[in-house]
């Protein structure tokens, strides 16, 4: 079955080459579908991919970004456009782990190599649609657990913590929350409250301030991304509790650099977003060249970042 798929893919690219215009078209075309480019993380990722394209020079990159994190509609359209254009591979960071399965199935049926990165497609949805697709990406849950463990190590058993979640319904938000919860369980911490601040600095500032009022005994705060962590740090500064209460974040965006340095932020997690798309493209190109498709979960590196 896999062989047939490959043959079809080859046939499609042959047809394209036959009907195509220039010699340049012989280079495989990779369609990169990302989430919101208004998010620094994906912006970095795109730049990483562009550098990668220039460095390798043996493929053509077509990248598409979305308006916002939950713009499923545009992602589906992007995938369908790539199918129409007959690209060789689609590399996608799905905006929704379920809704994106059917369009990707259509892409595979059209003989296109599909690589799923950043956020894993839902296993159940994949099963229902009869799709087998590996996931190339970081372990959000594992990463959050690393950050959580750092906090637990600093605070010790029985310390009281709260979580700031990402957008309800987003898979990475859920995974990070689960990772935090894993660390809380293993580290013997006490979870007082867990709320969303929709990935946003200002909202995180407000929510954290109000949580501090409701629970004056908070010792540690886990934020599911660094934008929210910044808001938390500012809330602590306003409350005069900077340094007293420990904060961890996720993503390692440049803006938290100074905070890590002076200890206002205990730790964050780097998932090397810049390389993530590039790694996935490498995988895709190998499959296009004839290598077997990856299986299961190809984990990409994550690393805990602290001030020291």
Partner 1 sequence: MTAAVTDTAGKPGSKGFSIRAIMREAGIGLALIGLIIVFSLASEHFLTANNITNILTQITINLILAVGMTFVILIGGIDLSVGSVLALAAVVAGKAISMPGLGPAEAIALAVLAAMVAGTLCGILNGVVSAWWGLPSFIITLGMLNIARGAALQISDARTIYSFPVEFNNFGSLTVWGLPVVFLVALGLALVAWLVLSRTVFGRLIYGLGNSEEAVRLAGHSVFWLKVAAFTICGFTAGIAAIIYMARLNIASPIAGSGFELNAIAAVIIGGTSLSGGRGSVLGTLLGAFIIGVLANGLILLGLSDFMRQMITGVVIIVAVILDHYRAKLTKG
The reply on whether position 195 binds partner 1 by CB under 8 A is yes
Which of these ranges, 93-101, 151-159, 248-256, 275-283, lies near partner 1 under the rule CB under 8 A? 248-256
Site membership for partner 1, residue 234 (CB under 8 A) = yes
Which is closer to partner 1, CB of 227 or CB of 300?
227
Closer residue to partner 1, CB minimum distance, 223 or 285: 223
- Residues 196, 219, 268, 300: which binds partner 1 (CB under 8 A)? 196
> Are the C-beta atoms of residues 259 and 265 closer than 8 Å to each other?
yes
Q: Which of 13, 116, 201, 271 binds partner 1 (CB under 8 A)?
A: 201
Query: Between 22 and 61, how does the x/- string for binding to partner 1 read (CB under 8 A)?
Result: ---------------xxxx--x------------------
- Give the number of other Cβ atoms within 10 Å of residue 162's Cβ: 25
3-state secondary structure of 167: coil
Sort strands 303-306 and 267-270 into parallel, antiparallel or unpaired: antiparallel
C-beta closer to partner 1: residue 60 or 239: 239
The answer to whether 82 touches 114, Cβ cutoff 8 Å, is: no
For residues 127 and 237, which CB has a smaller minimum distance to partner 1 in the complex? 237
Contact pick of 255, 262, 289, 295 for partner 1 (by CB under 8 A): 255
Choice between 126 and 176, CB closer to partner 1:
176
* Using rule CB under 8 A, residue 216 touches partner 1: yes
Q: Binder to partner 1 among 254, 290, 292, 296 (CB under 8 A)? A: 254
Structure tokens at 159: 């310390």
- Give yes or no for residue 202 binding partner 1 (CB under 8 A): yes
Q: DSSP per residue over 190-258, as a string? A: EEEEEEE-TT-HHHHHHHHHHHHHH-TT--EEEESSHHHHHHHHHHHHHTT-BTTBEEE-SS--GGGHH
3-state secondary structure of 57: coil
Q: Is 193 in the site for partner 1 (CB under 8 A)?
A: yes
Q: Is 95 helix (H, G, I), strand (E, B) or coil?
A: coil
Spatial contact of 131 and 168, defined as CB atoms under 8 Å apart: no
Contacts of 190 (CB under 8 A, 6+ apart): 158, 159, 160, 161, 184
Residues 158-187 touching partner 1, rule: CB under 8 A, are 168
Residue 161 phi/psi, 5° resolution? -135, 165
Question: Given candidates 4, 22, 84, 213, which one binds partner 1 under the rule CB under 8 A?
Answer: 213
Residues binding partner 1 (CB under 8 A): 37-40, 43, 168, 193, 195-196, 200-202, 205-207, 209-211, 213-214, 216, 227, 230-231, 234, 237-239, 253-255, 258
């Amino acid at each position: 079955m896999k062989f047939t798929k490959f043959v079809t893919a080859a046939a499609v690219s042959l047809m394209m080459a036959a009907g195509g215009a220039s010699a340049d078209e012989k280079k495989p075309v990779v369609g990169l579908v990302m989430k919101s480019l208004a998010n620094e993380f994906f912006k970095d990722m795109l730049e990483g991919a562009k550098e990668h394209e220039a460095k390798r020079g043996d493929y053509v990159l077509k990248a598409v970004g979305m308006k916002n994190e939950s713009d499923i509609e545009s992602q589906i359209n992007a995938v369908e456009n790539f199918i129409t254009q007959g690209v060789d591979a689609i590399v996608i960071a799905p905006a929704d782990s379920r809704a994106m399965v059917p369009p990707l199935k259509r892409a595979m049926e059209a003989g296109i190599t599909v690589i799923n990165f950043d956020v894993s497609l839902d296993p159940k949805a994949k099963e229902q649609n009869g799709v087998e697709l590996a996931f190339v990406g970081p372990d959000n849950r594992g990463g959050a657990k690393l950050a959580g463990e750092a906090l637990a190590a600093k605070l010790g058993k029985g310390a009281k913590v709260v979580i700031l979640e990402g957008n309800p319904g987003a898979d990475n938000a859920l995974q990070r929350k689960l990772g935090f919860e894993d660390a809380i369980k293993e580290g013997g911490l006490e979870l007082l409250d867990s709320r969303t601040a929709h990935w946003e600095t200002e909202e995180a500032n407000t929510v954290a301030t109000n949580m501090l009022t409701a629970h004056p005994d908070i010792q540690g705060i886990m934020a599911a991304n660094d934008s929210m962590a910044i808001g938390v740090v500012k809330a602590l500064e306003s409350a005069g509790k900077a340094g007293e209460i420990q904060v961890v974040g996720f993503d390692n965006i440049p803006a938290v650099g100074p905070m890590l340095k002076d200890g206002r932020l205990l730790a964050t997690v780097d998932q090397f977003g810049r390389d993530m798309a590039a790694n996935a493209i490498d995988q895709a190109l190998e499959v296009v060249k004839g290598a077997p498709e990856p299986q299961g979960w190809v984990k990409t590196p994550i690393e805990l970042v602290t001030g020291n």
